Each structure stands twice: as C-alpha cells, then as structure tokens.
Amino acid sequence: MGSRDEQIDSILERCFATDPARFEAEIRAACSAHPELATAIEARLEKLRRIGFLEAHEPRGIDVLQIEDFTLREALGRGGMGVVHRATQTSLGRDVALKLIRPEFLFFEGAHQRFHREIVAISKLQHRNIVPVLASGEASGTPWFAMELLRGASLRDLLDELAKQPPQDTTAADYGTALLRRAHATDEVRDDAFTGTRIQCAIRIVRDVANALEHAHGRGVIHRDVKPSNISVEPDGTIRLFDFGLARSGDIDARMTQDPGTLGSLHYMPPEALRGEIAAPERGDVWALGVILYELLTHRRPFESKDRESLRESILAATPSRPREYDRAIPVDVETVCATALEPSEARRYASARDFARDLDHLLAHRPIEARPPGRALRLRRWIQRHPTMSVAVLLGFFLLVVAPLVTISQVLRERNAAIAERDRADRIGYSAGLLAADTSTRNSEISVAKAFLSGCAEELRDFEWRHLSTLVDSRSSRLAIPARAFDLRAVDDRTVAFVDGGNTIRLVGVPNIEVRSELQIENASLTAISSVPDEHGGIDVIVGDSQGTIHVVPRTLAGSSRSTIRTGSTPIRAIITDPKSSSRIGILAATLLDDFGPDGSTLHVFERDGARWSPVVSRQFAGAAARSVVFDPDHDRLYFDRGNDILQWDYRTNGAPRLLSRSSHRIKALAVLPRERRLLVARQAATILAIDLEQPDDVRSLTSHDAQVVDLCVDDDGRSFVSASWDKTVTLWNDQSDATPRRLRGSDESLDTAALCGAFVVATSSRIVAGEGEPELHVWRRSAAPRATFTLARPVARLAFDAQRSTLYAGGYDGLIRAFDIDENRLRFVLSHGRPPTALLVVGETLHAVDANGTWTTWKNGAETRRLQQGHAITALVHSTTTGDHGSFLAGTSDGRVIEFDPDGNPVRSIELGTSLVRCIVLSPNRDMFCATDDAGDVHLIANDTLERKLSFRALEARAFAAAWSSDGSRLFVAGKDRRIVCHSAQDGKRLGVLHGHDGGVHDLVMNPSGTRLFSAGAGDFSVRIWNPENFELLFTIRGHGSAILDLAIDTEGHRIATGDMRGLVRVVSDH
C-alpha cells in the first residue's frame, strides 16, 4: 500500500476511534485539514457503506454468542478499537471480561496488528495492579482475549464523583462514598478501602499504578494510553491498570509505531509525543501518571481547552497552575513530586516509573523526597521562552528599578529555602526525638508530658516502638485529686476503696472510674485510720479511728451517724486490722502520728464482736519507739508489730511480754504477712523489702524492685501476691512464682503514701514529701496493665523461641534446661531437659526442636519428648524449609563450615561445604528461595534453597558474623557480629550499601519484623535492644532493662512481641500492645 493510502487509512482509523456522535464531525475536520485527500476519503467511506461497515460502527446488542469456551452475555463498554463483553467461561463457571476488536477495524491492518500487540503485551505481565489475560484467540478472523472481570469502578468515574465538591472539602471517606456509588459490585465495597487523608489516598492510587508501570516497563512494555478510564478501583481499594491497546513492546517492529498525535488520549499525552519526539517512551507514561496525580489533588486536569488545537498548544507550553493554588493543605513536597512528573523536559522528569513510585513512597513515609523543584534560573528561562517580547521590557525594568529590591527578595528566598531544609531535617529527626522525649518522660513518671510527645509523632511513621511506648503510657494510672494527704486506705470490696485524710470525712471511691460514691462527716473528729468488717447482718461496716483514740463503726453506705463507738484512750489510732482467722476480731494500734518526732510508746488493743457490740479482749502498753504497723498471725493468736528497728511478736491470748522476732538495720515502715508461705513482709526506710520466715526467723529474703524507701504493703486475698508502695512514685506487684520477677506500675508524679489491692485493680495515694507542695491524688491501675513477662534463669540464656500461638516463650539456658513460660499469665509452665546449652531453638507447628554443639537433636510436642537423635556433626544453627515435601526439610549449620539438609525425620539428604569456619546463623529469604549463612570468618554465603548451589559469597565483617536479617523485598542483607557495626549489603552482588552505627559493643542477634519495617538488634556490649528503620538506616529507639550482655533475641510471628535473654539469665518480653 502506498503512502497516500496509508495516510487515508490513518485518518479514517482515527475518526472511527472517536465517539460515534462525533464521527461525522471528525470526517469533516479531516477533509478540511487535508483538502488534497478529501475526495479519496469520501470515496473510501462510500465503499465502506456499501459493504456494511458504517452500519457496524453503531454498537449492536447481542443475545448470546459463543466464542470457544466463552458465552457472551452483555456489552460492558466500548473503547477506541475494541468492545468489552461480560462473558461466562463454561469450563470453569466464572464470569470474565472478553474483549473483541470492533468489526470496522478489521478493515485496517494497523488496528488489527495493535489488537494483537495488546494481547502479546499483557501476556508478559503478572502484577497485582495489572489486569491479567486469562485466554486469547481468534474467531472467524476476529481476534479476542479474556481478562479478569473488574467489579469496581474506573478512576474516571471516581474523579467525576469527587469533582462535585472542592478538593479542600474532600476526605478519604468521600473516596469510599464515590466508589460505593459507581462500583459494579456495590455490595462488595469495603469500609476500609480508603484510609488516611485524601492526599494520602491520591498518592497511594498513583503509587500503585506507578508500580504496575514499572513492572511493565521492566518487561519492555510501554502502555502509551495511561488515563483514569484505563484504571480500575476495586471494591477493596486495589488499583488495577488495563487496556494496553496502544502498548508497544521492545520486540515489536519499529515500523508499527504511528504518529503519536493520532493515538491515545490528548489530555494525557506528553509534549514530546505531540512534537513527534519519542526518545524515552517510558517517561511518556510517567507524564500521563503525573496528570492523573494532578487531577486527584485538584479535581481538574492541568491542561484544558475547548478545541483540540488549543489543548495541544496548552500541553506544549506546559505551564499548569500549581496544585496548592486550589488547596493550600497540599504539602509542598507533594506539589514538587507532581511537578517533576509533569516536567516538560524529559531530562528533568522522573527517569522511570520506579523513581516516581519511590518518591511517592517517601511521601507516604514522611521521608525526604529525591525530586527537587526547578531553580530560579530554569523558571526564568522558560518564562523568557514563552514571552520573548515582554521579557526585554521586564529585563530593562529589572536593571533600572529592581536591583535593590532583588537583594531583599534573594534574601527572603534564601531564608525560605533554609526553612524548607530545616523542615526536612526536622521531619527526619522529629520522630526519633519525640520517642526519646516520651521514653524519658515515662521513666520519670511524667505521663501527661509523655502522651503529648507521642501524640506529636507523625502517624505514618508509627511502628512497634511507638505502640510499645504508647502501651506503657496508657497502662499508667487514672487519677483523682483528693483534698489532703491520705492517712489510711483500704479496699471495702472489689470495686470500692475508702480512705481518710486527717479531716472529719470518710470517703468511698468507686473503682476503676474513680468517682466519689459517698461521704460521711463525723463531727469533732480527725480521722486517722480505716478498715472494714462484715456486720452481723451480712453487710459491711466501715471502722474508722480518730486522733482522740475513738473508734467509730458506720454502715458501708455511710448513711446516718455512727452505729457505735469504742473508746481506747486518748492516744491517736494509728492502724486498724482484721484478723484473717475471724472477721469478728480486730486489732487496734494506738500511737503517735508524728513518727520519730512524737512521744514514745504504743498500745495494742484486741476487740471481738458479739452481735452488734464490740468487747475488749486484751490491751497492753509497750514502751520504746512508737509502732507504725501491726499485723495478725494467720494461724496463731499473736500479733507482730514494730518498735523502731525491731520486730516484736506478742501472744495476745496469754498477754505475755513480747518477744523479739527480728532486728532490721533500717527503721520499719509497714508489715504484712504472706499466709501461704508464712513469711512476714517488712517495709523499711530502704528500697528493699524483707521476707522473714515466721518459723525460722533467721531465714530472711531480700526483695528488690524499688529505687527509694518502701512505705506501705498490702497482701491479696489469694495469700501469695502483694503490692508495695514507694517514695520512688511506683507501686510493685509481687507474687510467689519463683521464675517471675516483680512488675512495676508507674503514673504518679509524686511520692506514694498508701496502697491497696481492690479486686482486679491496684489503688494508691500520693503526695509531695515536702508538706504544702503538690496536690495529693488517688491513683487506680488495672493489675493486668502491669508490664509482664520478665523471667529469670539459673544460668545464662542460650536461645529463645516463641510458639506459633505467641503465648509461650521457650528459653534455653546454659544449664541444658529449656523452660516454657506462659507470657500472658507470667508463669513457668514446664521445664524440658536437653542436656547441653542449645545452639538453636526452633518451633515448627506444635513441635519444639533443640540442637547443640554435641550434635544432639531433641524434639518435644506439648511438653513431652518425642525424639532424640545424635548427629555426626556439631550443629550450630537450624531453620525449617518448606520448599520440599509436605512437611518440609531442615537446614543445619555445623562447626566445620557445612550446611546440611535434613529430611523431616532428621536424616541427612545433602550438604554444601562453605569453608572451615563455624556457621553462626542461617536465615531464609522472604520468598524462601534463597538462604544466607554467616560464619566466624565474617563471611556471608547466599545459597539457592532448592539446589544448595552457592550463588554468592562475600566478606561482610572482619570478625565473627553472629547474625543476619533480610530486607522485606529480599534485595538487601543486614549482618552483625563481634564488630559494633551493623552492615547492609546488596543480595545481588554483595556490595556494601551502608553501615548502621549505634551500639557500643558487639551485636549478638538481628531480627526483622514480618512487615520489614523495623530491624531489631541485640547489643552484647551496651546491654540494649536498638530499633532501626531498615530503609534509611536511622536509629529510632533504644530499649533498655538488661544489666549484662544480651545473648539472644526472638520475635513472634506477627511482630508484636520481642524477647531478649542475657548473660545473667534474665529474660524480658517487650510488646506493642
């Protein structure tokens, strides 16, 4: 065919590709533009009319049409050269979208070739954001292909809905509403399809399309018709790119490339395509995607005009309004990214869709972008090119009138650029600084300050460390301001506490909502002690003592006046206690309230109730320092009380002289008894608590948790757990589980005075030590909110592993024992014997595997040993591979530099020799097709999982490489060891990409969380866990709490808990919930 006929075909093909209503107008416009071809065009149209092709131009309805395995049901839409039908694939019983070339285009060879080219192009692509081809073929000379049936709405539909309101008034919810209105399957639209801000929604949509284009470009496919109508938004928010009808593959003959001005959609064509200059076609797709981003941000296209020629001129001029002119809430960085994608110069535009997607990811993560706005010189040159005449006058005026103002303007611009640079720097360090400040405030019990810092952290940056800190802060106390410092505090029932503060009022406070439920005033009384006992009718009486030595018995409701009074003398009542053996017996301590500054001497009274009447049993005065605390023996008729540094035992039934039980080196503050252990707890003017065996007083344990003197104790009804209050502003929960350490509760800004256990809650009161300063408060904590899961082993920790349910932690020690701890209940479940320190612990399903340097391989299921094998090699690392067999195989590293594959029964299958150095760790890549092994020489070996073929080896460290972790995409490896640095290497060529500095000594372990957003490292020299951003190598947070070298680090399957074990046998579990 000659060039004249090709030109006529091209004109007619372009006219057919337009809207049918504009067909005749397009023919007339073509004849006017090409008068020399007008007669030939009309003649060709007449031939088409005679053979029926012009009638075929109008879409016709169909009832049922069978094409191979597909039954066509209805037409869904019509494109430039194809018609899409809903069809049913008979063999699979599924609905698909089947695309046929329009009949009128069968007349044009170029269109026929482009349709085939679309099939070839899409068949190369397999990406979650690209609609895949399911089948293709040709029926009676008509090519077709079947695609997945899209159930959402096109991005064009969403934009039309969103354009009904200004961009600044649009939210993410409006995106969901638009999708609900326009989706084909509205019942499948998810409420969480769009989250965040509307700008974040727009960025995510464009980012997903950019990832799809990057996949296509990487396989030699250029779309060339990227526009909103070719992008689908599915009901779950997934973005899908389709219609590759104008795509061009690298292996398609270059003669098939037409004049770009005749193809695609003009609004989304780059300037170089309109000029016929296509040096880098990938950047044309980037331009189109930039237009879409602009439209999402502003609800309008960057280039608009009423006629085609004016629109071409507008695009060639490439001077759209800035998006921020329509919505000032659009960040400057977002505007810069959009402007870079719409850069008229290909050299300054994003070089690839991948570069564009990377900057969009930076925006979502609040990281610095790579694009930079055009400089002043470039903007001035473009303006001169657009306005050559005016520029002369402007330049003259510039030199005559603007020299002085220019200096000022330049200074303003410099300051603005400096402010932008400072903002970028603040964005990079603000998150880490906020976490550090929140952590410091939390440790100082400045809870409101910590909450303020946490709320100031950018939401998009929040991860494990932020959630961990937020959990700690949220577990701090609820509080209620009280009139004065509390003298005494007691639990009345599981939901109520009562306290007195030296005034004449008894207050009952509901827990946990900490509201004052009732009050009772006793005239002319200064109330100093409180307790509660069951009354004779099954109710509860509140018993209070005053500074004049009178006991008042009032009903729990605090209604009316006192039911009765008991006179004990004139000495103030210091404490009232109930006998655990009989609730109708109470003990009363009468002594000065001024502690060391008041008169010496104490009086103890014991009363018993007979009906409504309280009768004295015994009273006795004791010389010496005034007592501060008294407690009943849970099994015998005796009392224990303090006298200065002494603890005395008094058998009140015989009323004999008291006996010295024990002597302390510090002044005693409070006493309590653990009935199950028969131990007397002693709080002193020291940070430690003594636990004295009542049968063998020389058996004394020292309990350490607080940082200042302990002032109050309260034992729970279970007889084993208790709480202590301290001037270090914390209360500590203790129990008799030998493998569980105490759990501290923080939240008070002042020193604590009293503490009580009230059902599932801990209640305490606080005030300033210096009188007259600060506001006294009552605090309530949930007992379950206390930090849990801290355990102690007898020997150093060797290895740790979580079970699949994340509720049990296995800790292998250097004593050859493996302990199973219940993390939720903070207790030891059972102990397993392996015999030697495990070099690896591995949980596969319900089975625990342990190996050691002696070659012993032991397995347990549900705490019972199921197998013990003796291998011929010292095993130093073990992982489970699921790539072969139903049950998978195991990869084991050895001390002689080998990696051995074992079958599920523990039989060796094959091996690879890496060298002579001990293999320290084996880590599978994210898609499990590769694994890396590190050794004592500091080398890293990358090995194919299916063949055990070595792909790459490189030297990462000059000393032992203890641990490694993969990035989420498997492209990078992080390696740590005896060197204090963590190094990052490319998994493709071993090239070093960066170094993570922060530890003060060797790093014994590395783990990456399942999402790949955080890297955790365990420091052997600085006893800390560091949390890193693996993308930019920034140190985000440091978790402390160990006092010796951390030897192992484990993370649960969902990344919500990390466990660490150290040289002293301490195991800590830190969570983010």
pLDDT at 324: 92
Q: In a 3-state reduction of DSSP, which class is residue 755?
A: strand
Give per-residue pLDDT as tens, 977-1025.
988 889 999 999 999 999 998 898 899 999 999 999 999 999 988 999 9
Residue labelled with tokens 């535009």: 349
Residues 6+ apart with CB under 8 A from 620: 603, 604, 650, 652, 655
Most confident of 551-560, 809-818, 820-829, 1027-1036: 809-818
CB-based contacts of 32-40 (< 8 A; 24+ apart in sequence): 34/7, 37/4, 37/7, 37/8, 37/11, 40/4, 40/8
**CA atoms of 1039 and 1056, how far apart (whole Å):** 15
pLDDT at 885: 41
Mean pLDDT of 209-221: 92
pLDDT at 252: 35
Q: In a 3-state reduction of DSSP, which class is residue 615?
A: strand
pLDDT at 791: 81
Mean pLDDT of 162-169: 92
User: Could you tell me where the beta strands, DSSP code E, fall in 106-254?
Assistant: 133-139, 142-148, 153-154, 221-222, 231-233, 239-241, 248-249
400 pLDDT more than 80? no
**CA atoms of 47 and 109, how far apart (whole Å):** 17
Give per-residue pLDDT as tens, 275-302.
877 667 889 999 999 999 999 999 999 9
Residue labelled with tokens 């005016």: 390
Q: For the chain, where do the domains classified as CATH 2.130.10.10 start and end?
A: 478-785, 959-1073
Most confident of 115-119, 670-674, 788-792: 670-674
Q: Is CATH 1.10.510.10 the classification given to domain 150-370?
A: yes
Residue whose C-alpha is closest to residue 716's, from 685, 768, 675, 777: 675
Give all strands of the β-sheet with 646-650 in edge-to-edge order: 630-632, 639-643, 646-650, 659-663
Q: In a 3-state reduction of DSSP, which class is residue 207?
A: helix
Strand 582-590 to strand 573-579: parallel, antiparallel, or no bridges (unpaired)?
A: antiparallel
Selecting among 225, 327, 463, 488, the annotated active-site residue is 225
Question: With helix as H, strand as E and coil as C, how does 427-481 read?
Answer: HHHHHHHHHHHHHHHHHCCCHHHHHHHHHCCCHHHCCHHHHHHHHHHHCCCEEEE
Q: How many CA atoms lie within 13 A of 829 on its CB side?
A: 17
Residue type, 557: T
| DSSP secondary structure code for residue 28 in this structure | H
Mean pLDDT of 566-585: 94
* Annotation: CATH topology of 478-785: Methylamine Dehydrogenase; Chain H (2.130.10)
pLDDT at 246: 57
pLDDT at 617: 94
**Full DSSP string of 351-381:** SSHHHHHHHHHHHHTTPPPS--PPPHHHHHH
Instruction: Check: CB of residue 871 under 8 Å from CB of residue 852.
Output: no
382 pLDDT more than 90? no
Q: For the chain, where do the domains classified as CATH 1.10.510.10 start and end?
A: 150-370
**CA atoms of 519 and 529, how far apart (whole Å):** 16
**Number of C-beta neighbours around residue 42 at 10 A:** 11
Mean pLDDT of 708-715: 94
Give per-residue pLDDT as tens, 123-133.
888 999 999 88
Question: With helix as H, strand as E and coil as C, how does 539-557 read?
Answer: CEEEEEEECCCEEEEEECC
**Annotated catalytic, 935?**
no
Which helix or strand (DSSP H or E) is residue 521 part of? Answer: strand 516-521
Mean pLDDT of 156-164: 93
Q: How far is CA 559 from CA 507, 519, 551, 563, 738, in A?
A: 12, 9, 17, 10, 46
pLDDT at 311: 87
Instruction: Check: CB of residue 828 under 8 Å from CB of residue 821.
Output: yes
CATH architecture label of 959-1073:
7 Propeller (2.130)
Per-residue confidence at 64, pLDDT binned at 50, 70, 90? low
**Helix crossing, 198-218 with 281-298: angle to 10°?**
170
714 pLDDT more than 70? yes
Q: In a 3-state reduction of DSSP, which class is residue 155?
A: helix
Instruction: Check: CB of residue 747 under 8 Å from CB of residue 479.
Output: yes
Give per-residue pLDDT as tens, 881-910.
874 444 679 999 999 999 999 999 999 999
Mean pLDDT of 403-420: 75
Give per-residue pLDDT as tens, 3-57.
676 677 677 767 766 666 666 777 777 787 778 777 777 777 777 666 555 654 4
Extract the tokens encoding 1067. Answer: 């195991």
- The percentage of residues in the chain with a pLDDT greater than 90, rounded to a whole number, is 51
User: Could you tell me where the beta strands, DSSP code E, fall in 914-971?
Assistant: 919-924, 930-935, 939-944, 950-955, 963-966
**CA atoms of 774 and 750, how far apart (whole Å):** 8
